[in-house]
Structure 1
Amino acid sequence: MRIFPTLPLLAIAVVASPAYAQDAHANHQEHHAEVEELRAQVAALTAQLAAVTERLDEIESEQAETAADIAVIETETAALADSNTPIVTASTGTEISMGAAAEIENDDGFSFKPFGRLMLDAGFTAIPEGTGLEDGFDVRARRVRLGVQGDIPGGFGYKMEFEFGGNDLEITDALLEYETGDVTLTVGQFNNFQSMEELTSSRFTSFIERAAFTDAFGFSRRTGISVEYGAGNVLLQGGLFSDNIDDLPGSDRMSVDARAAFFPELGDTQLHFGGSIHYADLGDDGQVRYRQRPLVSFTSERLINTDRFDAESEFDIGLEFAAVRGPLHFHAEGYRREVGGLISMEDAVFHGAFAEAGLFLTPGDSRTYRGGRFNRTRPARTIDEGGIGAVQLNLRYDFLELNDGDAGIIGGTQNGLFSSVIWTMTDYTRLQINYGHLAYDDAPNPLPSGEQDYSVDVVGVRAEFDF
């Protein structure tokens, strides 16, 4: 039997088994330690990752809050620009409101705001040959005005405006107001109360020039004192006036003017009913002259003209009506002037009237009205907001009669058909084109044949802005 060779192997196995077990146990402990170390490292990395994630969340939250703050600031800035929201300087108590122009006001109640307008006209007139009147193309700076207005503590307000368009500096408005409740007292030079058409600012009229009778009958600013009551939809105005400040001293002209307006809203329709009365004592050596250009002011030719004649007084009555509904508006006025104290002993009577209708072609736009007169057109979408502004079409019939055969005055009669297209690009910029066809009867400047009835065509363009 071969038993002996196996005994050494068994002995070796018996001896080696405990040693191997000890090595395996040692290796197991070493691996366990390494695993625990790895687990600790993973835990540390996990904690660091969690901290980084938490910090990233905080940064994102801070960025969101910053973006929200920026959005609020941008919104408030836009509101400031659009609605004259005041900026308050705490150190001085002074507010500066930013609109079309800066307005400054302090805690004591003083305020100061500059304003102005620029109107540039161009176009042509076509007058029949042989009248001796000039026609053709011409250009004119119709209005170049600068002024200031504001408040004075105690309920007072002031306004000063100057015209730079002519060769001489002229004062247009120069007034001081006192307001108490619904009553306003005014002293200085300003528009007296004749016609809604005249009292509507030239910035907001629907044609290059106002209705013919307003210019022919000499409506203008005069020095005086007035009282005005306005409450709800009722307006009452009245005053005593002398002459334009450029004609003072030396003028003994005096006039009384009064106007009343009622402007209810009937559903979506704004209505206006008004009337005015005017009486003027022309003073010693009084003279008057009534005449008118063909629509545009850049021509100096007057195609109807009474020439100067002696007179003692003027007595006027005017009626007004207007309506605004959505994009549509209608406006009509009639005016009668009676001139007394003529050498003929017969009072002379002249008439003027107009009727117009307008339509906005751009959605959401409408002619605005406030306190007895038309106001600023504000386009629903201006060109700086991605829109095209407001586009308006207007048609007008304009009548002026300067004839009175009984008084021996033949100044002519005008019947005008006018159209205008007005593009209001922003609240403060406009471009308009006017066309007029005017038919004259008994015109003072006859044709070579002696004919005094003929027609004239005019085209006028105006670019304008105000602030």
Structure 2
Amino acid sequence: MNSSIRLSVLAAAMSCTFATPVFAQDASPTAAQQDLAEMRAQLATLAARIDQLEGELAQEKAANVAQDATIAATAEAVATPAPAPEPQVAALEKKDGWSFKPRGRLMYDAGFTSVPDSIGRDDGFQNEVRRARLGASGDVGGGFGYKFEIDFAGNEVEVADAILTYGHGDLEVAIGHHNNFQSLEELTSSLHTTFIERAAFTDAFGFERRIGASVSYEKGIAIAQAGVFTDNFDDTGTNNRGFDGRLVLMPKSGNTQFHFGGSIHFNELGEDDATVRYRQRPLVHFTSERFVNTGNIDAESEFGAGIEGAVISGPFHAAAEGYWQNVDIPTMGDNPTFFGGYAEVGYFLTKGDTRGYKGGKFDRTKPENPVGEGGTGSVQLNLRYDYLDLNDAGIIGGKQNGYLASLIWKPTDYTLFSLNYGKMDYTDAVYAKADGDTDYTVDAFGVRAQVDF
């Protein structure tokens, strides 16, 4: 009951009160006083009842408001779904600073090579599990961290990264089995390269992980890296001793990322009967044929120097490298210097996608519109010229001119499908045709299905 109702009731009661003497003018004074007292008592009772009704009405209104608020909150919660979990595996954190993050990758390759019939080398369809890695990484407190990965591909167990790290500000120290600092292409993870295999010179000159200690310093647009290394886990019995250094500048202009770098490499073989051998497959890894090959060369040491450059601007990227490998051969008057390099361009055919870049190397591409979120993922087309020259100072290992193309589809951040084609034009190949000709072409086609976490 509201105030207007209460006033109406009171007005009616007061009217009755003032009208009573008119109707009771013939009554005695004592009777009139009694009647007036009774009416006042009734009026007081009526006022109390009005107060009670107003209180009950106020409580009912408050209950209705609370119920409406509850219904609105429930409707909003139903209409707004809970945030989706992150797609990648989260690290397991501990209060004392330790963390554990599982990691892994699986790459399956298939395809074929086509070689001239008369050279008698294997060709046709082949396939392989290129990489099957499992491992973990994380922190151990106090600025220390770790990374450990094992590869099970090829029915063999090989250690990839196995390092203990320490980071303080812009400085990071790494000890263990890891990449030394040779080439942008080599340091870019196999998860993020644009072709099914890296540029020919990286494999031909034996770039690989080695056991050692290194320091990296990153400040602003510059990265300086240096380390001392022995050999890889499979060759711990050798006396190899090496040094590697790399300097990178990473300026940006607007949304355009530039990359300029250079590296040097020295490896003392440390054995009286030490040898080196430089050779390379025709693009794909699932064939064991190598049409350029220096054979074993007696050597005391290796010295290499490389230059690297790249640019990323929206959907477009370009990259180029050159690397010179000099071999100290005590039995020869002139030491040979071999050369390899590549130049490539790439372009995303899907809107909003760009190539990833971080820490002086290419990084993960993350589709702007992935599959599962209403999109089709990213599609990237790449073209590359790949050159390798293993002829010098009387050593005839052959030359390779590679003309390569790849089409990469990434449905999500962590899945990839790739088509690759390469026409490898050889000069002075190590296998001759029936007529003795060593200049010919080999075609290679490969596909890859890849997932990682």
Confirm or deny a common fold (TM above 0.5).
Answer: yes
- Deviation string for 1:130-161 (max 9, x for gaps)? 11210000110000000111101111000110
Q: Partner residue of 2:433?
A: 447
Q: Percent identical across equivalent pairs?
A: 53
How many residues of Structure 1 are paired with residues of Structure 2 in the alignment? 401
Which residue of structure 1 aligns with residue 51 of structure 2?
none
- Give the corresponding residue for 1:59: 67
- Deviation, structure 1 residue 66: 2.5
Work out whether 1:252 is the aligned partner of 2:239. yes
Looking at structure 2, the residues matched to 440 and 63 of structure 1 have their Cα atoms a distance apart, in angstroms, of 76
1:414 is matched with: 400
The offset of 1:105, in angstroms, is 1.0
Residue number in structure 1 paired with 2:362 = 374
Q: Residue 48 of structure 1: CA displacement?
A: 11
> Which residue of 2 is the match for residue 6 of structure 1?
none
Per the normalisation by structure 2, the TM-score is 0.85
Instruction: Identify the residue that residue 448 of structure 2 maps to in structure 1.
Output: 462
Q: 2:423 aligns with which of 437, 440, 454?
A: 437
SS in 2 for 1:259: strand
Q: Which residue of 2 aligns with 1:310?
A: 298
SS across alignment from 2:67: helix
Deviations 1:355-404 (A, max 9, x none): 00000010000001111000000000101101000000000000000111
Give CA deviations for 1:321-362 in whole Å, capped at 9, x if unaligned.
Answer: 000000000000000000002422320110001000000010
Q: Where does residue 21 of structure 2 map in the other structure?
A: none
SS at match of 1:384: coil
Deviations 1:51-87 (A, max 9, x none): 989766643421221243456661xx32xx23xxxxx
Superposed CA offset, 1:286-323 (max 9, x none): 10010000000011100111111111111111000000
Corresponding residue of 1:223? 211
Q: Distance in 2 between matches of 1:341 and 1:111?
A: 49
**Residue type at the aligned position of 1:269:** T
Give the SS at the match of 1:402: strand
Counterpart residue number, 1:171: 159
1:94: which partner in 2?
A: none
| Structure 1 letter corresponding to 2:347 | L
Alignment of 1:258-407 (within 5 A): 258-284=245-271, 285-404=273-392, 406=393
Quick check: 1:194 aligned with 2:202? no
TM-score, normalised relative to structure 1: 0.83
Amino acid aligned to 2:286 = F
CA distance in structure 2 between the aligned counterparts of 1:398 and 1:342, rounded to whole angstroms: 31
> 2:125 and 2:64 mapped to 1: Cα distance?
72
Aligned letter for 1:150?
A: G
Distance, in Å, in 1 between the alignment partners of 2:412 and 2:81 is 24
CA distance in 2, matches of 1:136, 1:319: 36
SS in structure 1 of the partner of residue 173 of structure 2: strand
Q: CA deviation at 1:102?
A: 2.8
Q: Distance in 1 between matches of 2:412 and 2:239?
A: 45
SS at match of 1:385: coil
Measure the CA separation in 2 of the matches of 1:121 and 1:317. 32
Cα distance in structure 2, aligned partners of 1:235 and 1:62: 57
Q: Secondary structure at the match of 1:314?
A: strand
Which digits, 9 at most, give the CA deviation of each residue in 1:1-24, with x for residues without a partner?
xxxxxxxxxxxxxxxxxxxxxxxx
Q: Distance in 1 between matches of 2:334 and 2:396?
A: 14
- Name the counterpart of 2:410: 424
Shift of 1:254: 0.7
What SS does structure 2 have at the residue aligned with 1:345?
Answer: coil
Structure-to-structure mapping, 1:151-166, within 5 angstroms: 151-166=139-154
One-letter code of the match for 2:76? A
Q: Distance in 2 between matches of 1:339 and 1:105?
A: 49
Q: Indicate whether 1:211 and 2:199 are aligned.
A: yes
Counterpart AA for 2:67: I
Gaps of 5+ in 2: 1-54
| Secondary structure of the corresponding residue to residue 201 of structure 2 | helix
RMSD: 2.1
Say which is worse superposed, 433-442 or 57-66, in terms of deviation. 57-66
